[in-house]
Amino acid sequence: MIAMASLSSYDQIKETILEKGLMRDGIGTHVTASFTAGFVPVDVIKIRVMNMKVEAGATPPYSGALDCVMKTIRSEGPISLYKGFIPTILRQGPFNVVLLLHLILLT
């Protein structure tokens, strides 16, 4: 689910950049789309949905990812979707840029 959401975010952002003529297709476009897609807070939602406690016979806390997003924003505010963002960017950012460049240069 998360990989698909991240990829979908990346694809949508890249398509918008190209359609609006902001950049031409190339490494810069891929890096920009990847970096921007990193701001879509899918990890927090995935973890909350995966870790929710469902008691036998009780209604689950979340009916799905969108319900989780809405309840989280209502109860904790929109910034709560970005918990752990800085450590994640510092850890995954350089790796993803290098991996993306490697994949682009191989094709």
pLDDT in tens, 85-106: 888 778 877 887 788 788 778 8
Instruction: Extract the runs of DSSP E, i.e. beta strands, from the chain.
Output: none
Supply the mean pLDDT for the chain: 86
Residue 6 has pLDDT above 80, yes or no: no
Structure tokens at 87: 């450590």
Average pLDDT (21-41) is 87
pLDDT in tens, 38-65: 788 888 888 899 999 999 999 999 999 8
Q: What is the pLDDT of residue 80?
A: 93
Q: Which long-range contacts (CB under 8 A, 24 or more apart) does 81-84 make?
A: 81/41, 81/44, 81/45, 82/41, 82/44, 83/44, 84/43, 84/44
